[in-house]
Amino acid sequence: MKLLIDKELNSTDKILKPDFNSRTGRELLVFYLQTKFRQILSFDRKCENPVFIDVNSDFISRFSKRLINNPHKRLLVGITGESASGKSTICKEIKKIIEQFHMPVSVLSTDNYFNDISALIKKFGSFDNLRDNGYDVDAPTSFQLDTLTEDLKLLSEGTDVMIPMYLPNGTGVSVPHAQKISSQKIIVVEGIATMYEQVKDIFDVKIYVESDNSIRKDRFITRACEERNQSIENALKHWDYIAQAGEKYVKPFRSEADLVLNGNADLDYFSEILEYIHAITNNFQ
């Protein structure tokens, strides 16, 4: 992929920058991007550990029409996947590249839209007791989906928003209007709630991150024990819950995804793909 980047940057055979305000200019840009994206897919298929597992057959044509017909609307990218699939890691890598190239992108997590369950945790004594008594943490009803939908609509129209912040300290507290998210040209939204029925159709690009269950389990147990100080017994109990919840609430949306990404892909290689995308969208004569 580095060879493709260098070739793109050093090429003297470049197209004139199209006038994106004209439909003809946008059509030229879209044709150019289609060619380059197919080049990326062709290169990726030959890799031992590819990034792209699956691409929806109508994604390229549908996304092209969106760019041509509605160029001023912010681009919303939703990234979902079962717990410990690698979606947060991929988003961190995206954010790193964003900062490196000063790209106009905002990133937010739907985990901040969990309901405030602090009263329930106090009633049952702990989050674990609440879960063991049947509280379905990952169910759509456990999220502030109305607020999430409204915030995403405002962001897509160019309006900055103040989103809630769910405190990951076991208290179940959700602080309203706690974090400012700017409406940049591209808005990346990560979390299991991105593809829930009420929210999913707002996204222009739907991405599903997939990993083997054995790898997900190892990641989850390690994270629970080392980062969240859970006992191995409780970590395994919570894994049983999230594995079932993932099958029920998250995995059904895989078939609707525009892109299915490999959560086990090499992050350096993934970064190179992002660098190449940046190069081809900014390297005009």
AA identity, residue 237: K
Residue-wise pLDDT tens digits, 186-241:
899 999 999 999 999 999 999 999 999 999 999 999 988 888 778 888 889 989 99
Question: Which residues, at least 6 apart from 196, have a Cβ–Cβ distance to it below 8 Å?
Answer: 140, 143, 145, 249
Give me 32's structure tokens. 């150019």
User: Can you give the pTM of this predicted structure?
Assistant: 0.90
AA identity, residue 36: K
pLDDT at residue 231, rounded to an integer:
86
pLDDT at residue 5, rounded to an integer:
57
CB contact at 8 A, 49 and 174: no
pLDDT at residue 174, rounded to an integer:
97
Residue 36: CB atoms within 10 Å? 17
Strand 75-80, strand 205-210: pairing: parallel
- Which CA distances in Å does 122 have to 116, 126, 132, 169, 274? 12, 7, 14, 14, 45
CB contact at 8 A, 97 and 275: yes
Residues above pLDDT 70, as percent of the chain: 92
- CB-count burial class (<10 Å; 0-12, 13-18, 19+) for 21: exposed
Query: Between 213-226 and 232-245, two packed helices, what is the crossing angle to 10 degrees?
Result: 140
pLDDT at residue 102, rounded to an integer:
84
Strand partners, 181: 161
pLDDT at residue 9, rounded to an integer:
58
Strand partners, 77: 188, 205
Give me 54's structure tokens. 């699956």
Question: Is the sign of the CA dihedral 219, 225, 228, 230 positive or negative?
Answer: positive
Residues of the chain short of pLDDT 70, as ranges, are 1-18, 282-285
Across the beta sheet with 205-210, the strand order is 52-55, 259-262, 205-210, 75-80, 186-190, 105-109
